[in-house]
Amino acid sequence: MLFDSDNTDSSIPVPGHITILKPQNPNPKPVSFPREIVLVRKMYFDKYEKEFGDGFYPQLTPMVNNSYGYDSTGYDSVNITFRWAEIYPDVWIQSDNSVIYGFDGKYGKELLQSLNEEANITATQISNSGARIIHPKTTTNSTYRLIDTRARV
């Protein structure tokens, strides 16, 4: 509305007094957020198996040529982030990269020990980014059990 000098009702209102507002909660409780730890691990994997084979089964140690004749030229590495939070204190959760299918041999145990030692905690499981427990291996979380379509008796 434009200011009209002929209209005395359009003057700018001026407060007659100032009100000091009191806090709505005079005794606020401190907000606490759950503690969270994020760690990154460089992990090595077989590119062929990831793309065309059984899936993504990374490990902490680099693959090397050995007496069984494996060629390490088909291997690659990637940084994978794992997250631990107080709301799920027993589990490290993969939070980026390709979904880890599982771990061969001792590699799940090695990863769990590495994460726990650095964070100084005692989690007992690792979950992939798809929310499936991938370590420790059990018959109920086995990839083969999940994809088995035979009727169970």
125 within a domain of the structure (yes/no): yes
pLDDT digits (tens, 9 = 90+) for 108-125: 999 999 999 999 999 999
| Cα dihedral value 130, 131, 134, 137, nearest 10 | -130
pTM of the shown model: 0.69
- Number of domains the chain contains: 1
- Among 22-26, 28-32, 132-136, 139-143, top mean pLDDT goes to 132-136
22 within a domain of the structure (yes/no): no
Pick the range with the lowest mean pLDDT from 24-33, 81-90, 94-103.
24-33
52 within a domain of the structure (yes/no): yes
Confidence of residue 46 (pLDDT cuts 50, 70, 90): very high
Range of the domain at 69: 37-147
75 within a domain of the structure (yes/no): yes
84 touches 120 (CB < 8 A) = no
What average pLDDT does the segment 65-85 reach? 76
112 touches 97 (CB < 8 A) = no
